[in-house]
């Protein structure tokens, strides 16, 4: 045994193991982990081993749920929903509070169980994971108490199917289950098959604290089980955290089902270090960014972007710091890096490391003595890699970063955004103005300044681009589990629209044309454009008379319109007050042409044109009024930090208008998008496209910047499909048929754009405004700023 004097001379860590006796005893009583359905343990389905990643030892066996077990779980959740959702919020709050207290009372047991099941260190489970689990249940107990007053007019979604990953097993459960239950939903949860144990333990806790049977159901299994949960017709909402590829699969699987969907997917997050940064703090930030949790973190700062002048010094400090990291037994309280979750994941990491070296990257790695057994990976980082190299673009999901240099802030932003992901970012600089400017320009749902990987239940977390959509935590996370109470509209009647370019040998009706040819072209980039196909089609009014011709847009015209919209990015950067002025001016100019539009609408639809024009003017006024009223928020989260929630435009949005209310529907869809700073590519009513062409004339004299609004007439679903497949389009609103809605949702999986479809149901366009419309027209960026001491 070492003497104190010798220890003081070497400062070597001695072993500090955490006892796992209680967990081993619990596992001995749990020889096979099954499902929790309707408040009872169900041991059914094929068995597989659950392994300890640090030793390879079998911890227990796991039943895999098949169709019968998933069906039983969904039925149990469906049966429990009326009673649970009807409870007063206070009653649900008491249940969530009880779960939070029970988690705290078993904090050490759950910490050890999580470390053994996942391979992460006891320091992380004890100090981060389990306290955050309790925090989420406490926080959402508060939302349960307040939901009726804070979300008036909203109701729970119904039965929620939730699929969670293996990197934060119990924490991801809390992120999803707590808001779902607080809102009044019931849940069918599918944990990862590699890490099922803490979910099973929490199910026992729920029984212990008296959670009503069927409110939380857990089915164990692999991806096949997850697909059964997501695809079950009895599930109303799907929430998934995992890989981008699986997220795409789920998006396609449930397209057209009407299920609400939120996705938190992969990341390749930039960690930007400027030359004026506190380098010692930034080095410790790297430890927390990529070597924390073995790098198995979706928002890990895996791309180190270092200003050129300090790169050699920074890399040298990183190499020194690497040598101090201790890799080994996760239950040793002195261990910094534990075991990778599985041998298969370790093999994947090793393969990507080998590919990075083969492509010319220089690997700097800790000379740690790895244990002889278990799935251990020495932490490290690459230099000499190009932005397009495999390891710079692909999520390694292991304790290995890639480092590149930059010279200017603009170059740093360009490198940071050179990825298909957009989950998180970290910016290090003592110049707060520079740090905030860069944070604002980085495409990421969460940005930390002089910090990284800070989480709180009160802060929204979620991604942009191919890192998914939807938010978890805070008010935004609660909103994912609620829907506005409204009567479902009637089915939209099918309308046959001919896009035949052949002449019709019929004179154009006088009221719409005034005797002058009015062949309408496309409105693209602030000017009139001929259709790429060089074709036009006749448009008929309510009485069958030909009112004029419009251009037949095609795939190339949509691409041109998206390009024009992409170039109009300055629209999102102008003040909300300026956007409001433009919308007011649009309303003013529309008002001056009130009689003309009323006549055209009456001739087109046979309805009350004057009333529709008046409603459209008022709709423009309402959205103009809201443009500078939709505020972000400042949240009380961690000490010494201020957490900002900032509304950002999606960017380029696609808008597909319905056949009915050709002016009012167009304005109702386009105005909130413009008010929030988006640029829009609009496909107007197929049956009455001349109204949109006339509206473009109003836009031309209303100070709307070129490219902010583009109008392409043509066959609705063909153009909608092109918009849905376009990678530059970040969000798409579709009003059309049920089949078209399903097509749009499936086609949007390419870049995982946010969609809002009506599934062929009519809307009350007279009431088509409100906070929900504006919220859907933006995405939230969470910015963490150091504040105070």
Residues serving a catalytic function are: 264, 298
What secondary structure letter does DSSP report for 463?
Answer: -
Task: Compute how many other C-beta atoms are within 10 angstroms of the C-beta atom of residue 559.
Answer: 16
> Residue 786's beta-bridge partner residues?
641
> Residue 425's beta-bridge partner residues?
447
Q: Which residue, among 192, 173, 42, has the nearest Cα to 110 in the 3D structure?
A: 173
Order of strands, edge to edge, in the sheet holding 260-264?
40-42, 35-37, 216-218, 186-190, 159-163, 237-241, 260-264, 468-469
The sign of the CA dihedral 8, 10, 13, 14 is negative
Residue 475 CB contacts under 8 Å (≥ 6 apart), including other chains = 150, 460, 633
Residue 414 CB contacts under 8 Å (≥ 6 apart), including other chains = none
| Cα 42 from Cα 38, distance rounded (Å) | 9
> Residue 218's beta-bridge partner residues?
36, 189
Q: Where are the beta strands (DSSP E) in 231-279?
A: 237-241, 260-264, 270-273
| Cα 629 from Cα 632, distance rounded (Å) | 9
Tokens of 51: 């392994």
652-656/729-734 β-pairing: parallel
Contacts for 469-473 with beta carbons within 8 Å, 24 or more apart?
469/262, 469/263, 469/752, 469/753, 469/754, 469/779, 470/239, 470/261, 470/262, 470/263, 470/264, 471/262, 471/445, 471/780, 472/175, 472/176, 472/179, 472/262, 472/264, 473/136, 473/175
Residue 679 CB contacts under 8 Å (≥ 6 apart), including other chains = 565, 566, 568, 569, 571, 572, 651, 652, 653, 707, 708, 709, 710
């Amino acid at each position: 045994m070492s003497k104190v004097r010798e220890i003081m001379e070497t400062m070597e860590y001695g072993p500090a193991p955490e006892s796992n006796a209680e967990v081993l005893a619990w596992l001995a009583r749990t020889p096979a982990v099954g499902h929790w359905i309707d408040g009872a343990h169900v041991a059914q389905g094929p068995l597989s081993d659950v392994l300890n990643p640090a030793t390879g030892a079998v911890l227990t066996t796991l039943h895999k749920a098949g169709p019968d077990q998933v069906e039983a779980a969904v039925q149990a959740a469906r049966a429990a929903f009326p009673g649970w959702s009807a409870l007063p919020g206070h009653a649900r709050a008491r249940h969530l509070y009880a779960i939070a207290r029970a988690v705290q009372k078993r904090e050490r047991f759950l910490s050890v169980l999580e470390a053994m099941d996942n391979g992460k260190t006891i320091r992380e489970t004890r100090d981060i994971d389990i306290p955050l689990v309790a925090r989420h249940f406490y926080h959402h107990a508060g939302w349960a108490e307040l939901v009726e007053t804070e979300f008036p007019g909203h109701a729970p979604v119904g039965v929620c199917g939730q699929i969670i990953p293996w990197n934060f097993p119990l924490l991801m459960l809390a992120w999803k289950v707590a808001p779902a239950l607080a809102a009044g939903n019931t849940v069918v949860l599918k944990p990862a098959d590699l890490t099922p144990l803490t979910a099973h333990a929490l199910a026992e806790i729920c029984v212990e604290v008296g959670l009503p049977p069927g409110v939380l159901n857990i089915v164990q299994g692999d991806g096949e089980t997850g697909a059964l949960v997501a695809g079950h017709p009895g599930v109303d909402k799907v929430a998934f955290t995992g890989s981008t590829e699986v997220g795409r699969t789920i998006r396609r699987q449930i397209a057209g089902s009407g299920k609400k969907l939120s996705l938190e997917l992969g990341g390749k997050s930039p960690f930007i270090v400027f030359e004026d940064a506190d380098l010692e703090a930034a080095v410790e930030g790297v430890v927390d960014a990529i070597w924390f949790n073995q790098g198995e973190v979706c928002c890990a700062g895996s791309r180190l972007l270092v200003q050129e002048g300090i790169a050699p010094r920074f890399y040298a400090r990183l190499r020194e710091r690497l040598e101090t990291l201790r890799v080994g037994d996760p239950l040793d309280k002195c261990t910094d890096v534990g075991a990778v979750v599985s041998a298969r994941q370790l093999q994947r990491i090793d393969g990507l490391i080998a590919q990075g070296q083969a492509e010319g990257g220089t690997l700097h790695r800790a000379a740690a003595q790895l244990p002889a057994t278990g799935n251990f990976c020495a932490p490290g980082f690459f230099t000499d890699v190009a932005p397009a190299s495999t390891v710079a673009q692909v999520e390694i999901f292991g304790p290995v970063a890639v480092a590149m240099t930059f010279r200017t802030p603009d170059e740093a932003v360009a490198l940071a955004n050179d990825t298909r992901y957009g989950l998180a970012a970290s910016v290090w600089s003592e110049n707060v103005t520079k740090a905030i400017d860069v944070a604002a320009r980085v495409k990421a749902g969460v940005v930390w300044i002089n910090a990284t990987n800070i989480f709180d239940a009160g802060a929204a977390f979620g991604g942009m681009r191919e890192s998914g959509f939807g938010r978890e935590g805070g008010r935004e996370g609660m909103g994912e589990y609620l829907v506005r109470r409204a009567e479902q509209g009637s089915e939209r009647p099918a309308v046959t629209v001919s896009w035949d370019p052949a002449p019709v040998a019929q004179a154009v009706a006088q009221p719409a044309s005034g005797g002058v040819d009015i062949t309408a072209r496309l409105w693209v980039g602030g000017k009139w454009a001929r259709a790429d196909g060089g074709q036009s089609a006749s448009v008929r009014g309510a009485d069958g008379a030909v009112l004029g011709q419009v251009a037949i847009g095609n795939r190339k015209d949509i691409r041109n319109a998206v390009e024009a919209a992409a170039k109009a990015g300055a629209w999102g950067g102008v003040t909300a007050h300026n956007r409001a002025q433009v919308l007011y001016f649009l309303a003013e100019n529309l008002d001056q042409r009130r009689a003309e539009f009323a006549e055209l609408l009456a001739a087109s639809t046979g309805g009350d044109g004057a009333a529709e024009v008046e409603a459209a003017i008022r709709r423009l006024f309402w959205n103009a009024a809201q443009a500078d009223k939709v505020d972000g928020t400042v949240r009380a989260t961690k000490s010494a930090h201020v957490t900002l929630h900032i509304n950002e435009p999606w960017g380029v949005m696609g808008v597909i208008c319905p056949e009915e209310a050709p002016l009012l529907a167009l304005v109702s869809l386009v105005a909130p998008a413009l008010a929030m700073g988006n640029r829009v590519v609009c496909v107007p009513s197929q049956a009455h496209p001349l109204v949109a062409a006339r509206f473009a004339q109003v836009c031309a004299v209303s100070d709307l910047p070129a490219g902010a609004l583009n109008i392409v007439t043509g066959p609705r679903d063909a153009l909608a499909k092109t918009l849905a497949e376009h990678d530059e389009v970040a969000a798409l609103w579709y009003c059309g048929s049920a089949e078209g809605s399903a097509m749009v949702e499936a086609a949007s999986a390419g870049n995982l754009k946010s969609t809002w479809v009506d599934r062929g149901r009519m809307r009350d366009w007279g009431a088509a405004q409100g906070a929900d419309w504006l919220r859907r027209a933006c995405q939230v960026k969470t910015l963490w700023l150091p504040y105070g001491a």
